[in-house]
Amino acid sequence: MQGFFTNMGVFYHQLYSLSQDRIGIAFAIAGIGAVLGSIYGGRISDRFGKQKLIVLACILSAFVVIALSTLTGNLAISLLLQTMWAISTGIGQSSLTAFISELNPQIRGTILSFNSSATYLGITLSTAAASAILPRGGFATVGILCGIIYFFVIPIVLYLPHERKIQKGAVLSHTPHQK
């Protein structure tokens, strides 16, 4: 995911001959999309469910990043797809943060630490991998691999133990494997 994003400047320069200032504008557009996704993601996840929204954001992000990397040739479409990707990522991140805040208190800190560590490790490894793959496989290969990686988040989120409310405000901790 991050591996494709860190190479977006190269993507825009090679495919559309954008200058550095135009690439900066493209990144700013994505940043605005991510902020909007983050702002509204929490509100939407409160209404429709955090796990559901995380799964939906992962699926949408996967398809959008694959489309962005393979449906090239039109700058406007690329910018639109990049913005959609940023919005869905912002929604997913804010929903994930809200979801983690509701985890069983006995494991919440561990999961928060794991999430942060996995994020930084993912940034490091995916950037290195994408930079190595890009010259040989191109943006399509990197984008497809990044899209596939989104699907690994889904079973992790669905498995995490969380708190659920039961009768009269009592709280019961459970995993999806418990009834």
Which domains, from first to last, does the chain contain?
2-174 (1.20.1250.20)
| Residue 140 confidence (pLDDT) above 60 | yes
107-139 pLDDT, tens digit each: 888 888 988 898 888 888 888 888 888 888 888
pLDDT of residue 91: 94
Give the SS3 label for residue 172: strand
51-107 pLDDT, tens digit each: 899 999 999 999 999 999 898 789 999 999 999 999 999 999 999 888 888 888 888
Q: Cα–Cα distance between 71 and 91 in angstroms, integer?
A: 24
9-56 pLDDT, tens digit each: 888 888 899 999 999 998 899 899 999 999 998 889 999 999 899 999
How many angstroms separate the Cα of 90 from the Cα of each of 60, 67, 162, 171, 177?
Answer: 12, 18, 22, 29, 29
How many angstroms separate the Cα of 105 from the Cα of each of 95, 141, 171, 173?
Answer: 18, 40, 12, 9
Compute CA 162 distance to the chain's CA centroid, rounded to the nearest angstrom: 21
Q: Cα–Cα distance between 170 and 18 in angstroms, integer?
A: 57
Burial 9-26 (b: 16+ CB within 10 A, else e): eebbeeebebeeeebeeb
Return the residue matching tokens 């794991």.
114
Give the SS3 label for residue 1: coil
CB 53, CB 41: distance < 8 Å: yes
Report CA Rg, the chain: 18
* 116 Cβ contact partners less than 8 Å away, ≥ 6 residues apart: none
Mean model confidence pLDDT for the chain: 84
CA dihedral 162, 91, 74, 126 (to 10 degrees): -50
